[in-house]
Structures are given as structure tokens and as C-alpha cells.
Structure 1
């Protein structure tokens, strides 16, 4: 299924495709906050938006049980475990200031391309025939190519999606 998603910090176009059984691949292209690592700490920059590519393999562990119990499984409504990779490009021109540097007019943090890997637990539920709700949480690990450093961080999100392409199943 194809969808447009809006989260607390991101906007993306996504496509979920079945892999096998209860496994799906959720791929995204969108814009979201940049991040950097300073002194070993992960620092997100919500005003420094950048483009990203993301792919997540999800195992919908409750899908079959929900189906057997007669619960709604439309639009892959299920609880899941996922392994996610996300590549953030450098912030686009005009971006690059986090809240602290925006208000103090400092811009001494350099944001660059980053790679994030995360293991998440989440749940996805349909709200209507074309709307989805997704919430997830898990540990993440980010590599900052500018600083040549890495750090762990909490990966969490709340996302609403509008489905514009549905499979014919």
C-alpha cells in the first residue's frame, strides 16, 4: 500500500509491500529533523530539516491471531517488531539551526549525512478505510559521518497516514 505520513517531526511518502507471511517492508522518502553527535551525545535538530530514505523490515507478530479472533486486520493492523535503517542527507539550504542556536544566533554545530539503525516495537491500526495510526519505540544507533562518531538514542514516533494505494486482496 502507498501512503502519505505525517508524524510529530516528519513528513514522508511510504510504500508497504509484503515480503512473506507476516513480514512486510516499509520504505519511506521524506523530510525530518537532522541530528548530530556532540561529546558522545545524540542531538536532534528539529529546525534543521533534511531529506531521508528509510527502510524497515517488520514482523507483524499479532496479525494471524487478530485474524483468528475476528479483529480488524485491514491495512496491516497489527503489533510488530521492526529493524529499521534510515539515511539522512545534509540539511537543505536555510536549515541548520536547532532551537538553542536559533535563539542565540549561533550556528556552530555542523550537521551532515547520518545513518541510523534501530530495533523497534510498534503497533499500526487503521482508523478508517484510508487512515492509519502508527506508534513505535525502541533503541537506535546513529553514525554521524561529519564528526566521525556514533551514539545510541531512543527511537520513538507517533505517525498518522493517509493510504492512497491499496492492494486488491
Structure 2
């Protein structure tokens, strides 16, 4: 009887250790490529805690500028504007997704994020100014199976244009499909 109790106790401790290990490993770090409304980017998602992910990306796509308290965004596919963005995401429903046995692969979940995006600007048939967009947004990220990822967000941003010294508040929206590279 003592041996049976010992086996049950050790198995329970083992299952608890595995469950705690999975809880600590609920978010993934990975590199990805994304294509969406803002252009093409290469990024990396790095979990910094059980619910926070820090995402950094380099890409080319939409240019932006601010003038007369109005922000404008333009996507020129022929002459994309290089950009860098950094985002801190709080994935607030990750534990609920785990409890309901929903997919959490590729950091699937709902999130609130603070993002900064620096657009380097470029001259051509349109004028794209060097500009900084700082935004707060709500979004969702879902795994579409395998290495494919869907990400969308909506929020409010503040654009600072470095050529015109103008600033503007602006609604923000993003939609992208990605592929996990590594």
C-alpha cells in the first residue's frame, strides 16, 4: 500500500512539474516574415515574461507624413519606404486560452500593444517624410495552421513628421499574414 501511495505521490508531483513547465513556456520566440497593408517586414517575437512579447521588425512599405494636424499614409508598391518598428504586446488572454485548450502556437491570443514605427522617408514622385508613429492598439494574432500567422489590430496613434515639424493624432489599423521562419 505504501508503494502505491508513493507512486501516486510521485506521479502527481511529476504532472504538476510538467504543467508548471508548460505554463512558463506558453509564449514562443520566433522569426517571421509578414505581408500586409503596411508592406513587407522581417521580424522577431521574443517573450519577456508569461504574458509580454517584445516584437521588432525591419521592412519596407507604407510611407507617412503629418501636416496641418492631419496624418497621411501612402503605399507605393514600386518605391516602398524602409521602416523599423518595435512593439510591446501584452497577451492578456493566454492563460484562458490554455485552460480552454485553444491553440496558443505562434503566440495566438488577444493583445494590447504599444508600438513605435520609424519611417525613414524617401523622395520620388510622392514625398515621404522621415516620421515616427507611436500608437496604442488592440489586436488579435492567430495561428492559421503550421507556420502561418494572421495578425490584425486597431488603435490610436500620434505621428511626428521630422521634415515639416508637424504632429497629428490618427486612427491606426493593421492587417498582415505571416510565415514563421525559425
TM-score tier, shorter chain, comes to: 0.7 to 0.9
Once the two structures are superposed, the pairs formed by residues 57-76 of structure 1 within 5 Å of their partners are 57-76=88-107
Q: TM-score, normalised by structure 2?
A: 0.79
Structure 1 residues 27-106: aligned runs within 5 Å: 27-47=56-76, 49-91=80-122, 95-97=124-126
1:121 to 130, 138, 146: 138
Higher relative contact order by CA 8 Å / sep ≥ 6: 1 or 2? 1
Rg larger for: 2
SS for the counterpart of 2:98 is helix
Choose between structure 1 and 2: higher helix proportion: 2
Structure with the bigger percentage of strand: 1
Aligned pair count reads: 151
Provide the alpha-carbon RMSD of the alignment.
1.2
Q: Which runs of 4+ in 1 moved over 2 A?
A: none
How far apart, CA to CA, are the structure 1 residues paired with 2:37 and 2:160? Answer: 23
Matched, 1:18 2:18: no
SS in 1 for 2:154: strand
- Partner SS state of residue 139, structure 1: strand
Give the Cα–Cα distance (whole angstroms) in 2 for the partners of residues 36 and 30 of structure 1: 17
Match of 2:179 in 1: 162
CA contact (8 A) 2:141 2:152 kept: yes
How far apart in 2 are the matches of 1:42 and 1:53? 18
Q: Give me the whole-angstrom Cα distance separating, in 1, the residues matched to 2:81 and 2:94.
A: 34
- 1:104 alignment partner in structure 2: none
TM-score, normalised to structure 1, is 0.85
